Amino acid sequence: MKARVKLVDGVAFMAHGDSGHGLIVDGAEVIGGRNLGPRPMELVLQGLATCSAMDVISMLRKAREAVSDLIIDVEATRADTVPKVFTQIHLTYTVEGHNLRPRMVERAVNLSQEKYCSVSRMLASTATITHSYEIREVAPDPTPTAD
């Protein structure tokens, strides 16, 4: 796996990965940024959430759970001194669907955090990572009817 960043202006960089997709990453105004894109540490949290989200949604679909939405909110605390690594991270999973089995949701979330999510495993060396989940019942998708 490879990545490349190229200076755009000030402290803004264009970042590209092997997938060919790119995004602008910028610093805070206090260090010369212009708010053109997310900060690097925001991307780390977003990477953690999306890594786990892919695990969880895949496991729930394989278990034939009628999941219609998955939202993960992440809150983190950073060290006060440089390097300002994350020291505590909490993920809150909100899983929406019809007749979801709580044990399947709990299993998917736990397996993601404890085994499959590589971003979580890397961050666990500097941060205490906790998680919780909520299940929201929604009506099933209506079945199309023939006219």
Using left for φ > 0, alpha for ψ between -120 and 50, and beta otherwise, residue 112 falls in: alpha
CATH number belonging to domain 40-137: 3.30.300.20
> 123 near 78, Cβ under 8 Å?
no
Domain-wise residue ranges, the chain: 1-38, 40-137
pTM over 0.85: yes
CA distances from 63 to 7, 59, 105, 115 (A): 45, 6, 10, 18
For residue range 52-108, list pLDDT tens digits in order.
999 999 999 999 999 999 999 999 999 999 999 999 999 999 999 999 999 999 999
The conformation of residue 113, written as its DSSP 8-state character, comes to: I
